[in-house]
């Protein structure tokens, strides 16, 4: 049976391409009012038009904002609050994987800023609206190598930086944040879960280089390239399924604080995520 979402409003960050766009399409097809975000108006409008045409649902809006900037996250949240009376689902889908270490305008390492601080801050800023629309859901997207070790003393990758490893650590930190957040807001009517989408050929994977991989994995680069070759959105569509499931499935009513794999199956949190000393540090990276 198809889940019907006709009276639901869903915000998907990074809905202008890749997995986010396919997630937006899946939810638009179920009748949801979908809001996508991105940084570039032309790319965003092209995605919006494609979702409307393929989804047969005109209720698709675009909001712009660079999530690496906390001021822009705040501006985006304010725009959502001013324009929409309800928000049933927030999908923190936008992610970052880059080859070199850089700091954002806020002085935060960019992977940590986009993959951890932005979802945390956006959820905080929109929490009132989500709670007002309860039962509401937040879906955060993991990625990379989830069993990676987190170094509490190097969350900003000052001592050790390598594209995929730093990205994976940031995603593990985001999972720890999500787990902790779900415990803190238990009983609020807002459920928070994490989806692992699985590999997909997208702009993110297309921009990867062998130097981003840990040396031990570089031998597998030709296989990786082959797996990630352009498939016209097929793998992104498959990868969007777990986000759509966590956002919409009636089976998950009231379920919060869990981690789901690419087949939408509940799995155990990676060990590093459950370190009680990790998550409470994250709020300090978001400006008050």
Ligand X SMILES: NC(=O)c1ccc[n+]([C@@H]2O[C@H](COP(=O)([O-])OP(=O)(O)OC[C@H]3O[C@@H](n4cnc5c(N)ncnc54)[C@H](OP(=O)(O)O)[C@@H]3O)[C@@H](O)[C@H]2O)c1
Judged by the rule CB under 6 A, the positions of this chain that interact with ligand X are 14-20, 38-40, 43, 66-68, 93-96, 114, 141, 143, 197, 199-200, 202-205, 236
CB closer to ligand X, 57 vs 201: 201
CB closer to ligand X, 17 vs 55: 17
Cβ within 8 Å of residue 168, ≥6 positions away: 143, 144, 145, 146, 148
Min dist CB 33 to ligand X, Å, is: 19
d(CA 266, CA 258): 7
Min dist CB 8 to ligand X, Å, is: 21
CB closer to ligand X, 133 vs 178: 178
Contact 91, 23 (CB under 8 A): yes
Catalytic residue among 84, 167, 179, 196: 167
What is the DSSP code string of 198-222? Answer: ----SHHHHT--GGGS-GGGGGGHH
Min dist CB 109 to ligand X, Å, is: 13
Cβ within 8 Å of residue 8, ≥6 positions away: 31, 32, 33, 88, 89, 248
Distances (CA, A) of 44 to 35, 40, 63, 80, 148: 11, 6, 8, 16, 33
Min dist CB 150 to ligand X, Å, is: 17
CB closer to ligand X, 39 vs 86: 39
d(CA 252, CA 192): 11
Min dist CB 10 to ligand X, Å, is: 15
CB closer to ligand X, 156 vs 262: 262
Min dist CB 189 to ligand X, Å, is: 25
CB closer to ligand X, 26 vs 38: 38
196 is catalytic: no
Q: Which residues are catalytic?
A: 167
């Amino acid at each position: 049976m198809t889940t019907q979402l006709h009276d639901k409003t869903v915000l998907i960050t990074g809905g202008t391409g890749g997995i986010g766009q396919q997630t937006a399409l899946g939810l638009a097809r179920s009748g949801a009012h979908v809001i996508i975000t991105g940084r570039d108006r032309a790319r965003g409008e092209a995605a919006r038009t494609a979702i409307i045409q393929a989804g047969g649902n005109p209720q698709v809006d675009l909001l712009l904002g660079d999530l690496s900037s906390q001021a822009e996250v705040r501006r985006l949240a304010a725009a959502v609050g001013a324009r929409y009376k309800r928000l049933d689902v927030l999908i923190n889908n936008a992610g970052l994987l880059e080859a070199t270490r850089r700091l954002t305008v806020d002085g935060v390492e960019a992977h940590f800023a986009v993959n951890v601080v932005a979802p945390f801050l956006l959820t905080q800023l929109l929490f009132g609206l989500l709670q007002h629309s309860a039962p509401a859901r937040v879906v955060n997207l993991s990625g990379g190598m989830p069993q990676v070790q987190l170094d509490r003393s190097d969350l900003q990758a000052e001592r050790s930086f390598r594209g995929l490893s730093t990205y994976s650590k940031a995603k593990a930190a985001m999972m720890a944040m999500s787990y902790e957040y779900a415990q803190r807001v238990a009983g609020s009517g807002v459920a928070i879960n994490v989806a692992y989408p699985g590999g997909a050929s997208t702009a993110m994977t297309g921009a990867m280089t062998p130097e981003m991989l840990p040396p031990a994995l570089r031998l597998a680069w030709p296989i990786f390239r082959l797996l990630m070759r352009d498939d016209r959105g097929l793998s992104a569509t498959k990868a969007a399924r777990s986000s759509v499931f966590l956002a919409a499935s009636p089976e998950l009513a009231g379920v919060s604080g869990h981690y789901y794999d690419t087949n939408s199956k509940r799995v155990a949190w990676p060990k590093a995520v459950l370190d009680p000393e990790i998550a409470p540090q994250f709020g300090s990276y978001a400006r008050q």
